Structure 1
Amino acid sequence: MRPWQDDQLHLLQSTQHEDELFQEVLALSKQLGFEHCAHGLRLPLPLCEPKIIMHNSYPAVWQTRYQDKKYLAVDPTIQHGIRTPRPLVWSDDVFRSAPEFWEEARSFGLCVGWAQSVRDGAGVCGMTTFARSAEPLTSKELREKEFEMAWLAQTIHVGMTRCLLPKIMPEIDVILSSRERAVLRWTAEGKTAGEISSILNLAERTVNFHIRNAVAKLNAPNKTSAAIRATVLGLL
Structure 2
Amino acid sequence: MEIWKESQLQLLSQTQDIHTAYRISLNFVRNLGYKFCAFSTISANSRTDCCPVNLNNYPHNWNTQYEQSNASEIDPVAAYCNHSMLPVLWSKELFCATPWLWQLLQQQGLAHGWSQAIHDEETGLRSILSLARSHCPISAYELYENLGFSVFISRHLHALAIGMQPKKPVRTQAPPLSRREIEVLKLSADGKTAYEIARILNLSERTVNFHVHRAIEKLGVNNKMAAVMAAVRAKVI
* Band of TM-score, shorter chain: 0.5 to 0.7
Task: Give the structure 2 partner of residue 35 of structure 1.
Answer: 35
Equivalent position amino acid for 2:105 in 1: A
Once the 2 structures are TM-superposed, how far is the Cα of residue 51 of structure 1 from its aligned partner? 5.7
Q: How many residues align?
A: 179
**What SS does structure 1 have at the residue aligned with 2:109?**
coil
- Aligned residue for 2:106? 106
Give unmatched runs, 5+ long, in structure 2: 183-237
Q: Distance in 1 between matches of 2:102 and 2:179?
A: 61
State the shift of 1:9 in Å.
Answer: 4.6
Kept in 2, the 8 Å contact 1:25–1:156? The answer is no
Residue in structure 2 matched with residue 63 of structure 1 by the alignment: 63
Partner of 2:124: 123
TM superposition shift of 1:142: 2.5
Decide whether the 8 Å contact of 2:45 with 2:124 is kept in 1: no
* Structure 1 position 201 matched with structure 2 position 177: yes
Which residue of structure 1 lines up, in the alignment, with residue 14 of structure 2?
13
Distance in 2, matches of 1:104 and 1:143, equals: 26
Could you say what secondary structure the match of 1:101 adopts?
A: helix
Distance of aligned partners of 1:45 and 1:203 in 2 relative to their CA distance in 1, 3 Å threshold: farther
**TM-score of the superposed pair, with normalisation by structure 1:** 0.66
Q: Identity over the aligned pairs, expressed in percent?
A: 21
Amino acid at match of 2:54: M
Task: Give, in angstroms, the shift of residue 138 of structure 1.
Answer: 1.6
**Matches of 1:42 and 1:146, distance apart in 2:** 22
Cα distance per residue 1:26-65 (max 9 Å; x no partner):
1111011100000111134644796643111000111111
Alignment of 1:22 with 2:27, yes or no, is: no
The TM-score, its normalising length taken from structure 2, stands at: 0.66
SS state of the match for residue 113, structure 1? strand
Residue equivalent to 1:90: 90
Residue number in structure 2 paired with 1:217: none
* Cα contact 1:21–1:160 (8 A) shared by 2: no
Q: Could you give the per-residue CA deviations for residues 176-214 of structure 1, whole angstroms, max 9, x where no partner exists?
A: 55xx2xx6xxxxxxxxxxxxx8xx33449x8xxxxxxxx
Are the aligned partners of 2:8 and 2:28 in contact in 1 as well (CA < 8 Å)? no
Amino acid of the residue matched to residue 84 of structure 1? S
Structure 2 CA distance for aligned equivalents of residues 75 and 64 of structure 1: 15
Matched with 1:148 is: 149
Structure 1: runs of 5 or more not aligned? 184-196, 207-236
RMSD between aligned residues:
2.7
* Alignment pair present for 1:170 and 2:167: yes
8 Å CA contact 1:45–1:51 kept in 2: the answer is: no
Q: SS in structure 2 opposite 1:128?
A: strand
Gap change, CA 1:159 and 1:8, over 3 Å in 2: farther
- Give, in whole Å, the separation in 2 of the partners of 1:55 and 1:2: 27
State the distance in 1 between where 2:96 and 2:28 align: 30
Judge which range, 45-54 or 58-67, deviates more.
45-54
Shift of 1:6: 6.6
**1:44/1:51 contact within 8 Å kept:** no
Q: 1:32 to 1:69 in 2, by over 3 A?
A: same
Counterpart contact for 1:41–1:125, Cα < 8 Å: yes
